[in-house]
Amino acid sequence: MKSNAVLINTARGPIVDPWVLYGVLRANRLFAAALDVTEPEPIPLDHPLLTLPNFLVVPHIASASVATRTKMAVMAAENLLAGQRLPNCVNPSVYSARGS
């Protein structure tokens, strides 16, 4: 990434190595970072990342909007009522394990 970039992770904690992130932020090789998820979660209170002025961590709230939560609920209900394979299955190998 460019040194003037801002890294934002709202996906999964293990995508970002917190120790590598600490090193690049401290060395100004990255402008800033904001994490909605960490590995481990929660991030330990004594982690050096928390001492940096160019680092922000929030309590896993990226999807906390009425619109997003409504969409999530509608998708879950539609998947349940459809009675078939999930259109957005994260682990499709479950279908072959069940023999369906």
pLDDT digits (tens, 9 = 90+) for 43-57: 999 999 999 999 999
Q: Which residue has the higher pLDDT, 94 or 3?
A: 3
Give mean pLDDT, residues 46-70.
92
Confirm whether 39 is a catalytic residue. no
Confirm whether 60 is a catalytic residue. yes
Catalytic residue (choose from 26, 39, 41, 47): 41
Confirm whether 41 is a catalytic residue. yes
As given in the structure block, the two tokens for residue 67 are: 């619109």
Give the per-residue pLDDT at 99: 57
Give the per-residue pLDDT at 98: 60
Give the per-residue pLDDT at 10: 87
Report how far residue 5's alpha carbon sits from residue 77's, in angstroms, rounded to the nearest whole number.
39
- Average pLDDT over the chain reads 89
Report if pTM > 0.75. Answer: no
Catalytic residue (choose from 12, 29, 69, 85): 12
Catalytic residue (choose from 29, 60, 69, 98): 60
Give the per-residue pLDDT at 47: 96
The percentage of the chain sitting over the pLDDT mark of 90, rounded to a whole number, equals 55
Give the per-residue pLDDT at 28: 96
For the cut 60, the answer to whether the pLDDT of residue 72 exceeds it is yes
